[in-house]
Amino acid sequence: MTVTLNQATGPAYTRIYSYGAARGENAVPNEDLIGPIDSSDEWIRQRTGIVTRTRAVAGTSAIDLAADAAAEAVTRSGVPADKIDAVIVATVSNPKQTPSVSAIVADRIGANPAAAYDVNAACAGFAYAVAQADALIRAGAAHYAVVVGAEKLSDIVDPTDRSISFLLGDGAGAVVIGPSDFPGIGPTVWGSDGSKADAVGMNHTLVEFRDGQAPWPTLRQEGPTVFRWAVWEMVKVARKALEEAGVEPGDLAAFVPHQANMRIIDEFAKQLKLPESVVIGRDIETTGNTSAASIPLATHRLLEEHPELSGGLALQIGFGAGLVFGAQVVVLP
């Protein structure tokens, strides 16, 4: 070999520049959902902490929500849209299996010809996508990246399913990630456990629906299995993310777990022994569980309500269907 290839290199550090958010247009109270599942407002509040959840109207898709959130994040970042060279969308609710949500979002926000692809890691998708954007930039494969978590879960929910129907909401949260003079995104602790693939996911395939063998596929879960796994196993992942980042619980300004269930969030905080000074994301109360969108939506709300958190450290962790998980510590913009 007579020629030595050039190999890309990038900056040593990255950080999150800004957040953007979009929620479904309708606030749906518990009372609107209890009939088909023979439940009550009190039962849902006690079991999940949810009072209302945001759901999009029929004409709004996950693509629309993603584009709106991404546009806000780009505007707030101060980075020109045409300087964005990677768009990553974490979602399980693309209206079509192809093309990707990300390619359409890149076009809508003026980021063509950015590299664009979707990530399907369910409720851990945002943490996965942040890890990838961080790695792409530090490897020199991108300079600025938009990461979006976007879902329209109301399209794939069975209103009679008592295990999950009342949990789910629609929305999108986005960030812009770019080079930094200081470490802004800690090491990612991520992984999977496919032995529990049946614990949460779609109940049928599109082929079964096409062939008349099953109704329209919808999400379902084994609630107790997911709860135990989240409370006991994911706390270990969260601790590992803190350790990898060189951070103690008392160093955190905020804790933003996937908004799966208020009981899980509260148990998380207890197990991690978080001091009272740590602000905890509890967006689920009025937004519901928005899967890949829940972490950026909750963080966006925290920063709106607590601007003093800017510059502080936040531990974020996502976990869900797969089963998959991902966590990292980030510096809040």
Sign of the C-alpha dihedral computed for residues 212, 218, 223 and 227 taken in this order = positive
Q: What residues contact 266, with CB distance under 8 A and at least 6 apart?
A: none
Residue 300 known to be catalytic = no
Residue 26 known to be catalytic = no
Pick the catalytic residue from 30, 94, 258, 261: 258
Alpha carbon 253 to its chain's center = 19
Tell me the two tokens of residue 148: 């979006």
Burial of 96: CB neighbours in 10 Å, binned 0-12, 13-18, 19+: exposed
Pick the catalytic residue from 94, 123, 261, 300: 123
Residue 258 known to be catalytic = yes
What is the chain's alpha carbon radius of gyration, rounded to the nearest angstrom? 19
Pick the catalytic residue from 30, 94, 261, 289: 289
If we measure between CA atoms, which residue out of 293, 285, 246, 290 comes closest to residue 263? 285
Tell me the two tokens of residue 42: 């009190």
Rounded Cα gap, residues 204 and 17, in angstroms: 40
DSSP 188-246: PEEEE-GGGGGGEEESS-HHHHHTTSS-S--EEE-HHHHHHIIIIIHHHHHHHHHHHHT
Rounded Cα gap, residues 117 and 148, in angstroms: 11
Q: Report the 3 state secondary structure along 54-115.
A: EECCCCCCHHHHHHHHHHHHHHHHCCCHHHCCEEEEECCCCCCCCCCHHHHHHHHCCCCCCE
Supply the residues annotated as catalytic.
123, 258, 289
